[in-house]
Structure 1
Amino acid sequence: MYKQLISIDVFVPNRFVWQLKVPLKIKIFIWLLFRGVILTKDNLIRRHWQGSKQYCFCSADETIQHLFFACPCAKFLWRIVSVTFGIHPPKNVTHMFGSWLHGVNKKIKNQILIGICALCWAIWLCRNDIIFDNHKEQSYMQILFKTTHFWVLLQKEEERDFVRKACCALETTTVEIFSKHGWMFSNRLLIDDVPVNSEAPV
Protein backbone atom coordinates (compact mmCIF):
# COMPACT_ATOMS: atom_id res chain seq x y z
CA MET A 1 0.00 0.00 0.00
CA TYR A 2 2.72 2.48 1.01
CA LYS A 3 4.66 1.86 -2.23
CA GLN A 4 1.48 2.41 -4.23
CA LEU A 5 0.77 5.68 -2.44
CA ILE A 6 4.16 7.15 -3.37
CA SER A 7 4.18 5.76 -6.90
CA ILE A 8 4.31 7.99 -9.98
CA ASP A 9 0.57 7.55 -10.57
CA VAL A 10 -0.36 9.39 -7.38
CA PHE A 11 -1.22 13.11 -7.63
CA VAL A 12 2.00 15.09 -7.05
CA PRO A 13 0.97 16.94 -3.84
CA ASN A 14 0.01 13.58 -2.34
CA ARG A 15 3.45 12.23 -3.19
CA PHE A 16 4.98 15.25 -1.48
CA VAL A 17 3.06 14.44 1.71
CA TRP A 18 4.50 10.91 1.74
CA GLN A 19 8.02 12.30 1.44
CA LEU A 20 7.73 14.30 4.67
CA LYS A 21 10.09 13.09 7.40
CA VAL A 22 7.42 12.24 9.96
CA PRO A 23 6.17 8.92 11.41
CA LEU A 24 3.96 6.84 9.11
CA LYS A 25 0.91 7.31 11.36
CA ILE A 26 1.15 11.09 10.93
CA LYS A 27 1.80 10.74 7.19
CA ILE A 28 -1.43 8.77 6.89
CA PHE A 29 -3.28 11.42 8.90
CA ILE A 30 -1.89 14.26 6.74
CA TRP A 31 -2.68 12.34 3.56
CA LEU A 32 -6.27 11.77 4.69
CA LEU A 33 -6.47 15.44 5.65
CA PHE A 34 -5.24 16.47 2.20
CA ARG A 35 -7.81 14.14 0.62
CA GLY A 36 -10.55 15.67 2.77
CA VAL A 37 -11.64 12.37 4.31
CA ILE A 38 -10.56 12.46 7.98
CA LEU A 39 -13.53 11.70 10.20
CA THR A 40 -14.74 15.19 11.01
CA LYS A 41 -18.41 15.36 11.92
CA ASP A 42 -19.52 16.55 8.49
CA ASN A 43 -17.78 13.55 6.91
CA LEU A 44 -19.36 11.23 9.49
CA ILE A 45 -22.80 12.60 8.63
CA ARG A 46 -22.14 11.79 4.98
CA ARG A 47 -21.73 8.22 6.22
CA HIS A 48 -25.19 8.46 7.83
CA TRP A 49 -23.94 9.16 11.36
CA GLN A 50 -26.76 10.70 13.44
CA GLY A 51 -24.79 12.86 15.89
CA SER A 52 -24.44 16.63 16.23
CA LYS A 53 -22.37 18.56 13.68
CA GLN A 54 -21.23 21.06 16.31
CA TYR A 55 -17.48 21.44 16.81
CA CYS A 56 -16.33 20.89 20.41
CA PHE A 57 -14.37 24.20 20.57
CA CYS A 58 -17.23 26.40 19.34
CA SER A 59 -20.82 26.31 18.06
CA ALA A 60 -20.00 26.06 14.33
CA ASP A 61 -20.37 22.94 12.21
CA GLU A 62 -17.25 20.76 12.32
CA THR A 63 -15.57 20.62 8.91
CA ILE A 64 -11.92 20.27 7.93
CA GLN A 65 -11.80 23.91 6.87
CA HIS A 66 -13.31 25.09 10.15
CA LEU A 67 -11.34 22.72 12.39
CA PHE A 68 -7.91 23.59 11.02
CA PHE A 69 -8.31 27.10 9.59
CA ALA A 70 -11.54 28.99 10.34
CA CYS A 71 -12.22 28.27 14.02
CA PRO A 72 -11.10 31.08 16.41
CA CYS A 73 -8.73 28.56 18.02
CA ALA A 74 -7.15 27.64 14.67
CA LYS A 75 -6.96 31.29 13.62
CA PHE A 76 -5.17 32.14 16.86
CA LEU A 77 -2.64 29.35 16.36
CA TRP A 78 -2.00 30.36 12.75
CA ARG A 79 -1.63 33.97 13.87
CA ILE A 80 1.14 32.88 16.24
CA VAL A 81 2.87 31.08 13.36
CA SER A 82 2.42 34.15 11.15
CA VAL A 83 3.82 36.62 13.68
CA THR A 84 6.73 34.37 14.67
CA PHE A 85 7.96 33.47 11.20
CA GLY A 86 6.72 36.45 9.18
CA ILE A 87 4.56 34.38 6.82
CA HIS A 88 0.87 34.69 6.00
CA PRO A 89 -1.35 31.85 7.29
CA PRO A 90 -2.38 29.26 4.67
CA LYS A 91 -5.92 29.53 3.33
CA ASN A 92 -6.69 25.82 3.26
CA VAL A 93 -5.08 22.38 3.09
CA THR A 94 -4.31 22.61 -0.64
CA HIS A 95 -2.65 26.01 -0.19
CA MET A 96 -0.72 24.74 2.85
CA PHE A 97 0.95 21.93 0.89
CA GLY A 98 1.01 23.84 -2.39
CA SER A 99 2.19 27.40 -3.01
CA TRP A 100 2.07 28.65 0.60
CA LEU A 101 5.83 28.50 1.26
CA HIS A 102 6.91 29.27 -2.31
CA GLY A 103 10.31 30.96 -2.30
CA VAL A 104 11.27 29.77 1.20
CA ASN A 105 14.65 28.02 1.53
CA LYS A 106 14.06 24.29 0.93
CA LYS A 107 15.56 23.11 4.23
CA ILE A 108 13.66 25.72 6.25
CA LYS A 109 10.49 24.96 4.27
CA ASN A 110 10.71 21.25 5.09
CA GLN A 111 11.25 21.99 8.78
CA ILE A 112 8.29 24.40 8.84
CA LEU A 113 6.09 21.84 7.10
CA ILE A 114 7.01 19.25 9.74
CA GLY A 115 5.97 21.87 12.31
CA ILE A 116 2.68 22.32 10.46
CA CYS A 117 2.13 18.56 10.54
CA ALA A 118 2.72 18.77 14.29
CA LEU A 119 0.20 21.63 14.57
CA CYS A 120 -2.52 19.76 12.65
CA TRP A 121 -1.80 16.57 14.61
CA ALA A 122 -1.99 18.43 17.93
CA ILE A 123 -5.33 20.06 17.00
CA TRP A 124 -6.70 16.65 16.01
CA LEU A 125 -5.49 14.93 19.19
CA CYS A 126 -6.91 17.68 21.42
CA ARG A 127 -10.23 17.48 19.58
CA ASN A 128 -10.30 13.69 20.07
CA ASP A 129 -9.34 13.98 23.75
CA ILE A 130 -12.42 16.13 24.34
CA ILE A 131 -14.81 13.97 22.31
CA PHE A 132 -13.65 10.45 23.18
CA ASP A 133 -11.88 10.74 26.55
CA ASN A 134 -14.15 13.34 28.19
CA HIS A 135 -11.27 15.75 28.75
CA LYS A 136 -12.13 19.32 29.56
CA GLU A 137 -11.81 21.81 26.71
CA GLN A 138 -8.11 22.47 26.16
CA SER A 139 -6.68 25.97 26.02
CA TYR A 140 -4.97 27.51 23.01
CA MET A 141 -1.73 27.45 25.00
CA GLN A 142 -1.98 23.71 25.66
CA ILE A 143 -2.44 23.04 21.95
CA LEU A 144 0.46 25.35 21.10
CA PHE A 145 2.78 23.68 23.61
CA LYS A 146 1.74 20.22 22.42
CA THR A 147 2.51 21.34 18.86
CA THR A 148 6.00 22.59 19.67
CA HIS A 149 6.94 19.43 21.51
CA PHE A 150 5.68 17.21 18.70
CA TRP A 151 7.71 19.37 16.31
CA VAL A 152 10.91 18.77 18.28
CA LEU A 153 10.28 15.04 18.55
CA LEU A 154 9.62 14.68 14.82
CA GLN A 155 13.00 16.13 13.85
CA LYS A 156 16.28 14.32 13.41
CA GLU A 157 18.63 14.85 16.34
CA GLU A 158 21.05 16.96 14.29
CA GLU A 159 18.23 19.33 13.24
CA ARG A 160 16.62 19.75 16.64
CA ASP A 161 18.63 22.82 17.63
CA PHE A 162 16.96 24.93 14.93
CA VAL A 163 13.55 23.55 15.82
CA ARG A 164 14.01 24.14 19.56
CA LYS A 165 14.82 27.78 18.79
CA ALA A 166 11.76 28.01 16.54
CA CYS A 167 9.59 26.42 19.24
CA CYS A 168 10.91 28.86 21.84
CA ALA A 169 10.08 31.71 19.46
CA LEU A 170 6.53 30.40 19.01
CA GLU A 171 6.02 30.00 22.74
CA THR A 172 7.53 33.42 23.50
CA THR A 173 5.24 35.08 20.96
CA THR A 174 2.23 33.31 22.48
CA VAL A 175 3.10 34.26 26.06
CA GLU A 176 3.68 37.88 25.03
CA ILE A 177 0.27 38.06 23.35
CA PHE A 178 -1.45 36.51 26.36
CA SER A 179 0.39 38.70 28.87
CA LYS A 180 -0.80 41.85 27.09
CA HIS A 181 -4.31 40.81 28.05
CA GLY A 182 -3.32 40.00 31.62
CA TRP A 183 -3.49 36.25 31.08
CA MET A 184 -0.88 33.95 32.58
CA PHE A 185 -0.16 30.33 31.74
CA SER A 186 2.44 28.24 33.55
CA ASN A 187 1.24 24.64 33.09
CA ARG A 188 3.84 23.73 30.48
CA LEU A 189 3.77 20.34 28.82
CA LEU A 190 7.05 18.42 28.99
CA ILE A 191 8.49 16.79 25.87
CA ASP A 192 8.45 13.38 27.51
CA ASP A 193 4.74 13.81 28.26
CA VAL A 194 3.80 13.95 24.57
CA PRO A 195 4.36 10.59 22.85
CA VAL A 196 4.57 10.91 19.06
CA ASN A 197 2.65 7.68 18.55
CA SER A 198 -0.36 8.75 20.62
CA GLU A 199 -3.42 6.89 19.41
CA ALA A 200 -6.05 8.92 17.59
CA PRO A 201 -8.68 7.83 15.07
CA VAL A 202 -8.22 9.33 11.62
Structure 2
Amino acid sequence: MWRTVGCVFGTDRCPNDLWQYFAWCYCYLPDEERFYTFGLAALCWAMWNCRNKKIFELKELRSPFDVVYSACGYISYWAGLLSAEDWEAMERGVKMLRMNASNMMRICAAPGDATRNG
Protein backbone atom coordinates (compact mmCIF):
# COMPACT_ATOMS: atom_id res chain seq x y z
CA MET A 1 0.00 0.00 0.00
CA TRP A 2 2.70 2.51 0.97
CA ARG A 3 4.70 1.60 -2.13
CA THR A 4 1.70 2.51 -4.31
CA VAL A 5 1.32 5.86 -2.56
CA GLY A 6 5.06 6.40 -2.93
CA CYS A 7 4.83 5.84 -6.70
CA VAL A 8 2.44 8.79 -6.89
CA PHE A 9 5.20 10.88 -5.31
CA GLY A 10 7.91 9.32 -7.47
CA THR A 11 9.77 7.55 -4.66
CA ASP A 12 10.49 3.98 -3.62
CA ARG A 13 10.93 5.00 0.03
CA CYS A 14 8.15 4.06 2.41
CA PRO A 15 7.48 5.42 5.90
CA ASN A 16 7.91 3.11 8.90
CA ASP A 17 6.23 5.27 11.51
CA LEU A 18 4.11 8.39 11.94
CA TRP A 19 7.07 10.78 12.04
CA GLN A 20 8.45 9.33 8.80
CA TYR A 21 5.00 9.62 7.18
CA PHE A 22 4.86 13.36 7.89
CA ALA A 23 8.50 13.82 6.80
CA TRP A 24 7.71 11.87 3.62
CA CYS A 25 4.68 14.06 2.90
CA TYR A 26 6.62 17.23 3.62
CA CYS A 27 9.35 16.13 1.23
CA TYR A 28 7.02 15.19 -1.64
CA LEU A 29 4.08 17.54 -0.97
CA PRO A 30 5.77 20.60 0.56
CA ASP A 31 2.88 23.01 -0.05
CA GLU A 32 0.02 20.68 0.90
CA GLU A 33 0.37 20.35 4.69
CA ARG A 34 -3.39 20.69 5.10
CA PHE A 35 -3.87 17.29 3.41
CA TYR A 36 -1.32 15.20 5.35
CA THR A 37 -3.64 14.12 8.16
CA PHE A 38 -6.55 13.76 5.75
CA GLY A 39 -4.64 11.22 3.64
CA LEU A 40 -3.32 9.37 6.67
CA ALA A 41 -6.82 9.07 8.12
CA ALA A 42 -8.16 7.66 4.85
CA LEU A 43 -5.34 5.11 4.56
CA CYS A 44 -5.66 4.00 8.19
CA TRP A 45 -9.45 3.79 7.99
CA ALA A 46 -9.19 1.73 4.79
CA MET A 47 -6.69 -0.67 6.42
CA TRP A 48 -8.90 -1.02 9.48
CA ASN A 49 -12.06 -1.72 7.49
CA CYS A 50 -10.35 -4.20 5.14
CA ARG A 51 -8.92 -5.96 8.18
CA ASN A 52 -12.35 -6.14 9.81
CA LYS A 53 -13.90 -7.59 6.63
CA LYS A 54 -11.26 -10.31 6.59
CA ILE A 55 -11.38 -11.11 10.32
CA PHE A 56 -15.05 -10.73 11.20
CA GLU A 57 -16.86 -11.24 7.89
CA LEU A 58 -14.37 -13.86 6.62
CA LYS A 59 -14.13 -12.05 3.27
CA GLU A 60 -10.88 -12.53 1.39
CA LEU A 61 -9.25 -9.48 -0.14
CA ARG A 62 -8.83 -9.83 -3.88
CA SER A 63 -5.51 -8.05 -3.61
CA PRO A 64 -3.59 -5.77 -1.25
CA PHE A 65 -4.53 -2.95 -3.59
CA ASP A 66 -8.12 -3.20 -2.26
CA VAL A 67 -6.89 -1.12 0.68
CA VAL A 68 -5.61 1.60 -1.65
CA TYR A 69 -8.85 1.67 -3.66
CA SER A 70 -10.84 1.83 -0.45
CA ALA A 71 -8.73 4.77 0.76
CA CYS A 72 -9.38 6.52 -2.56
CA GLY A 73 -13.10 6.11 -1.96
CA TYR A 74 -12.84 7.67 1.49
CA ILE A 75 -10.75 10.56 0.21
CA SER A 76 -13.23 11.28 -2.59
CA TYR A 77 -16.17 11.09 -0.23
CA TRP A 78 -14.60 13.24 2.48
CA ALA A 79 -13.31 15.74 -0.11
CA GLY A 80 -16.91 16.83 -0.54
CA LEU A 81 -16.54 18.60 2.79
CA LEU A 82 -13.75 20.83 1.44
CA SER A 83 -13.75 24.05 -0.56
CA ALA A 84 -13.98 23.73 -4.34
CA GLU A 85 -10.24 24.37 -4.79
CA ASP A 86 -9.24 21.78 -2.18
CA TRP A 87 -11.81 19.31 -3.55
CA GLU A 88 -10.21 19.55 -7.00
CA ALA A 89 -6.74 19.00 -5.54
CA MET A 90 -7.93 15.93 -3.63
CA GLU A 91 -9.65 14.50 -6.71
CA ARG A 92 -6.45 14.92 -8.74
CA GLY A 93 -4.57 13.05 -6.01
CA VAL A 94 -7.16 10.27 -5.94
CA LYS A 95 -6.98 9.92 -9.71
CA MET A 96 -3.17 9.61 -9.60
CA LEU A 97 -3.34 7.09 -6.74
CA ARG A 98 -5.91 4.93 -8.56
CA MET A 99 -3.91 5.05 -11.78
CA ASN A 100 -0.69 4.02 -9.99
CA ALA A 101 -2.48 1.23 -8.13
CA SER A 102 -3.85 -0.09 -11.43
CA ASN A 103 -0.41 0.08 -13.04
CA MET A 104 1.19 -1.71 -10.10
CA MET A 105 -1.49 -4.40 -10.22
CA ARG A 106 -0.62 -5.05 -13.86
CA ILE A 107 3.10 -5.17 -13.04
CA CYS A 108 2.55 -7.50 -10.07
CA ALA A 109 0.17 -9.84 -11.89
CA ALA A 110 1.41 -13.35 -12.47
CA PRO A 111 2.33 -13.99 -16.14
CA GLY A 112 -0.46 -16.57 -16.48
CA ASP A 113 -3.05 -14.06 -15.23
CA ALA A 114 -2.14 -11.51 -17.90
CA THR A 115 -2.72 -13.94 -20.79
CA ARG A 116 -6.09 -15.10 -19.43
CA ASN A 117 -7.39 -11.57 -18.92
CA GLY A 118 -6.50 -10.43 -22.40
Fold-level similarity (TM above 0.5): yes
Do the aligned partners of residues 179 and 120 (structure 1) sit closer, same or farther apart at CA in structure 2, a change above 3 Å counting?
same
**Matched residue, 1:81:** 5
CA RMSD after TM alignment: 2.2
Please list the CA deviations of residues 15-51 of structure 1 after superposition, one character each: whole Å capped at 9, or x if unmatched.
Answer: xxxxxxxxxxxxxxxxxxxxxxxxxxxxxxxxxxxxx
Q: Percent identity?
A: 21
- C-alpha displacement of 1:93: 2.5
Equivalent AA in structure 1 for residue 5 of structure 2: V
User: How many residue pairs are counted as aligned between the two chains?
Assistant: 105
Show the 5 A alignment for 1:38-187. Answer: 77-87=1-11, 88-97=13-22, 99-102=23-26, 104-105=30-31, 108-155=32-79, 156-158=82-84, 159-180=86-107, 181=109
- TM-score, normalised to structure 1's length? 0.46
Higher RCO, Cα 8 Å, sep 6+: 2
Describe the superposition over 1:127-160 as per-residue Cα deviations: whole angstroms up to 9, x where unpaired: 0111112222342232111110101222215222
In the alignment, structure 2 segments of 5+ residues that lack a partner are: none
Give the TM-score normalised by structure 2. 0.73
Are residues 178 and 137 of structure 1, via their aligned partners in 2, closer, same or farther at CA, if it must alter by over 3 Å?
Answer: closer
Matches of 1:116 and 1:144, distance apart in 2: 12
Larger Rg: 1
Gaps of 5+ in 1: 1-76, 185-202
- CA apart distance, 1:110: 2.3
Q: Is the 8 A contact 2:65 2:105 kept in 1?
A: no
Q: CA deviation at 1:167?
A: 1.0
Query: 2:83 & 2:73 partners in 1: Cα distance?
Result: 14
The structure that is helix-richer by fraction is: 2
- Structure 2 letter corresponding to 1:167: V
The change in CA–CA distance for 1:162 and 1:92 in structure 2 (over 3 A counts) is same
Deviates more, 1:132-141 or 1:121-130: 132-141
On the 8 A contact 2:39/2:75 being kept in 1, the answer is yes
